[in-house]
Structure 1
């Protein structure tokens, strides 16, 4: 039985599938809190140094510095100011470096060992080292724990995204993928709300990490991946193939018709939409250079920057969905890992781009703008995946039947009839 046949027979988005994907989508709230942790935990309040000359050592600095605000952070506890201020940014870069490594290794591992064991292991160690972060006795242990949390968080969230795609039929991939990224943004807002009321950084780190325990316990009941099992013969599955498929996709119920109408009708295709969003974001960044600061609200650099941010977020969302549709089942997570790895690499480098202002104030805008425009045009070299068949193996990509189904005229005829 082919994949599309299986989902067509038992339902693409049944009740149990909705529950599973809802759980994985809500997991992004926890992922977002871990990703944004350093923004508040590493905040540096205003401070005053009693004596005129700058203390030479951290111990000396601790005796003479006074912090003005009433919140604590790693900067106030370990006096990461002056010559030690770089350590806050270093902790942030270590986290993103961990995300980079997690994306590299977790993708191929989940393709080889299965999604669930790799996902469960990543979430378990993510929670453990999240608590190490909250109770770290020194900066060195804090930085080390952030690096490991980055590895686990990046790999685990990548696998969970693939699970939201593979638990449902292909026609719902755009919906589940979009909801995943939308919930991540909601998680950032929730973390900001927590940070407003929780002023002690260790307690904030503890509270932000605690939902991970809840999600881990619930994950113990998440079923084994049906989609991955379909790539093996029925004999290897011990006769449980049809039981698994029927159990988790028995009833077909239309969901979110308005969202699906927007996704399927308004978007002209994954490739075209990604291209237009990236190019607009790039031009928005470049045009900011030529706008004066006092040019009115509708022509202000701030509004243009917000529009650029909106389109970058939209392109980021679609790229994940697009990548999952490009790769066959057996290497899908590895392919998404490469995509996500590039993003994390950008996260490591991005903090250093503003320093290019020393060369010219316009250089950072040109770097980000040219990156967006060039990425947009390069996307045109890729094939379209909207309403196209799913490849289940490497051999499918080269098969004559698959190539025929990819043909635009054949798909148009199928849609018309």
Structure 2
């Protein structure tokens, strides 16, 4: 059997997989805290200048500035105001530069060396660099730490999402994927609560980073992904991993025997790489659409969320509302994935982006003036939703397990699997 068939016997979502899923999903609270940290750590409090003349240099400005709010931030510690205020946004941008690099690097690394070692290495470094942020002696070290945290945080969370999917049967992918994003939103709310009670920025950075230590210890004992082992031709190890999952699920009598993977590379055969996304027409247009959709998601999501601290009203409430406002979207998406088709996902995406237009006005009802950036966010999100309609349907369709499967219709793959199942049953009976 292949991995999908084996998981039907082992258990697509048994008690062990449920525990793994819960742990991976809760990891998103830690990821959210790191992603949103700059909103509070870089917050600029109200201040006044005690001299009637505007200081001409930063050194003179520092001598005459009095901060009036009850929290500290990198702005208050290093006086990042006036001509130095850009450094706060620069630190935030460096984090996202790191995310970009991490997502590019960690995917191929996890394909080459395995999911587990790359994931654990990323999580360990994430914790180390997170504490580096908390104890940074100056702005330069702080900015460097945010770049490094972004690099390992983005890459680690990418591999974590893949592991969450690969440990369960494909019929539960929609559930685990939606839960991952749902808990990230809840993590934003949790971060706002932590920030409300911890007003010192260094303490806040350290406390927000501490859950990473706990998660690293919890993940040390997880097995390698059977799907990855199977894709690498390490069939015996994949069988052992599936047997381990079966035992932890309470299925002691299950015996797993996998057939050779159709996509396994043979000696002398060139390996597949990132360039295959451009080489094959089918992958090329799908990749282009997905890249645009994710670009739009990032533009809208972070554009709105990182703006929460700048809105009128209570900044902690604003941040919490930004997390809460997206929570209903995930059960809605899950319904469309399970019950409908990609058109449903496109409509859902457009609905979420329309909600994104309204989200900035939720925290402060006093401010009813429309803002052009938010309209741009909404239009961009709707265009991404429409493009999502062009993606192929996956509901009740067999998964393409190799490049060769891309050139075979989903119906033909389903028919081939049905014939093989019938032949297997006839052989067993005879």
Shorter-chain TM-score above 0.5: yes
Higher relative contact order (CA 8 A, sep 6+): 1
Distance 1:364 1:111, change over 3 A: same
Distance 1:20 1:276, change over 3 A: same
User: 1:201 and 1:109 mapped to 2: Cα distance?
Assistant: 34
* Matching of residue 404 in structure 1 with residue 412 in structure 2: yes
Distance 1:102 1:303, change over 3 A: same
8 Å Cα contact 1:164-1:176 kept in structure 2? yes
Residue 157 of structure 2 corresponds to 157
Tell me how far 1:363 sits from its aligned partner.
3.7
User: 2:192 and 2:19 mapped to 1: Cα distance?
Assistant: 27
Tell me how far 1:265 sits from its aligned partner.
7.3
Unaligned runs of 5+ in 1: 254-258, 289-299, 307-359, 411-417
Tell me how far 1:54 sits from its aligned partner.
2.0
User: 1:379 and 1:91 mapped to 2: Cα distance?
Assistant: 33
* Matching of residue 277 in structure 1 with residue 348 in structure 2: yes
Residue 364 of structure 1 corresponds to 373
8 Å Cα contact 1:175-1:260 kept in structure 2? no
Residue 11 of structure 1 corresponds to 11
User: 1:305 and 1:269 mapped to 2: Cα distance?
Assistant: 36
Residue 302 of structure 1 corresponds to 361
Residue 242 of structure 1 corresponds to 239
8 Å Cα contact 1:279-1:376 kept in structure 2? yes
Q: Deviations over 1:144-190 (max 9, x none)?
A: 11011001100100110111111000111111111111111221111
Distance 1:216 1:42, change over 3 A: same
8 Å Cα contact 1:11-1:252 kept in structure 2? no
Residue 341 of structure 1 corresponds to none
User: Larger deviation: 153-162 or 360-369?
Assistant: 360-369
Indicate the RMSD between aligned Cα atoms, in angstroms: 2.9
User: 1:282 and 1:11 mapped to 2: Cα distance?
Assistant: 37
Residue 189 of structure 2 corresponds to 189
User: Larger deviation: 75-84 or 88-97?
Assistant: 88-97
User: 1:42 and 1:71 mapped to 2: Cα distance?
Assistant: 11
Distance 1:115 1:187, change over 3 A: same
Q: Deviations over 1:277-335 (max 9, x none)?
A: 2333455677x7xxxxxxxxxxx9936999xxxxxxxxxxxxxxxxxxxxxxxxxxxxx
TM-score (norm 1): 0.73
User: 2:145 and 2:9 mapped to 1: Cα distance?
Assistant: 46
User: 1:59 and 1:301 mapped to 2: Cα distance?
Assistant: 37
* Matching of residue 373 in structure 1 with residue 402 in structure 2: no
8 Å Cα contact 2:191-2:208 kept in structure 1? yes
8 Å Cα contact 2:333-2:348 kept in structure 1? no
8 Å Cα contact 1:397-1:403 kept in structure 2? no
Distance 1:99 1:365, change over 3 A: same
User: 1:261 and 1:2 mapped to 2: Cα distance?
Assistant: 32
Distance 1:301 1:115, change over 3 A: closer
User: 1:263 and 1:284 mapped to 2: Cα distance?
Assistant: 17
User: 1:121 and 1:138 mapped to 2: Cα distance?
Assistant: 27
User: 2:374 and 2:414 mapped to 1: Cα distance?
Assistant: 39
8 Å Cα contact 2:48-2:67 kept in structure 1? yes
Q: How does 1:22-61 map to 2 (within 5 A)?
A: 22-61=22-61
TM-score (norm 2): 0.71
8 Å Cα contact 2:136-2:142 kept in structure 1? yes
* Matching of residue 384 in structure 1 with residue 393 in structure 2: yes
Distance 1:305 1:265, change over 3 A: farther
Tell me how far 1:230 sits from its aligned partner.
1.9
Tell me how far 1:261 sits from its aligned partner.
11
Tell me how far 1:6 sits from its aligned partner.
0.9
User: 1:406 and 1:269 mapped to 2: Cα distance?
Assistant: 19
User: 1:284 and 1:6 mapped to 2: Cα distance?
Assistant: 41
Q: How does 1:322-341 map to 2 (within 5 A)?
A: none
Distance 1:95 1:376, change over 3 A: same
Tell me how far 1:367 sits from its aligned partner.
2.0
